Amino acid sequence: MDNTFTIRLARIEDAQKLAEFCELLRESLEMPVQPEKLLSGVSAPIKDLSKGMYLVATETHKSELIGCLMITYEWDPGNNAFTWWIQEVFVDSNWRRKGVFQALYKHTIKMAKDKGNVCTIKIHVNDNNLNAQKTYKRIGMTDTSNFMYEFIL
């Protein structure tokens, strides 16, 4: 793995780039995009960590964002601890397959272990996104065979 990445919490000055990443991600997944909501949507967890947090990747000694993921929290009463959900994973096309996501993921694991009250890290993946599934298995995640349903308001 290339060790030339810096992983850090997103700052408010990163919000515009994160909104761009989010728009590209949603377009690639053929999800609806509401550009007028994206900037405030990505800014919300940056301003209020109770909503979640964004981790961003840069090249070490550079400031340009090359990847990100968002973590949200779910309380697991059976384990008396949190499940962290990884969402909004995006790596700039010029940086894919160079270890950026793996660096973000390893940083997530370290943060969860340091926090001490996290029992599980999960990620939702579309059933037709085979590349992502292979990546998640390669980094040590296991298929839970759960299905997800939604009701859109």
Longest dimension (CA), the chain: 44
Cα–Cα nearest to 74, from 137, 108, 119: 119
Amino acid 51: pLDDT: 97
Q: Is the pLDDT of residue 151 over 80?
A: yes
Q: Domains, the chain, ranges and CATH?
A: 5-138 (3.40.630.30)
Cα–Cα nearest to 118, from 150, 153, 63, 72: 72
Q: What is the pTM of this model?
A: 0.90
The pair of structure tokens assigned to 124 is 């939702």
In sequence order, which residues have a C-beta less than 8 Å from that of residue 13 and are 6 or more positions away? none
pLDDT digits (tens, 9 = 90+) for 88-144: 999 999 999 999 999 999 999 999 999 999 999 999 988 888 988 999 999 999 998
pLDDT digits (tens, 9 = 90+) for 2-30: 468 999 999 999 999 999 999 998 888 88
The pair of structure tokens assigned to 128 is 């037709």
| CA separation for the pair 85, 76 (Å, rounded) | 12
Q: How many CB atoms lie within 10 A of CB 63?
A: 9
CA 39-105-20 angle, 5° bins: 20
Residue-wise DSSP of 35-104: HHHHHHHHHHHHH-TTS-EEEEEEETT---EEEEEEEEEEEETTTTEEEEEEEEEEE-GGGTTTTHHHHH
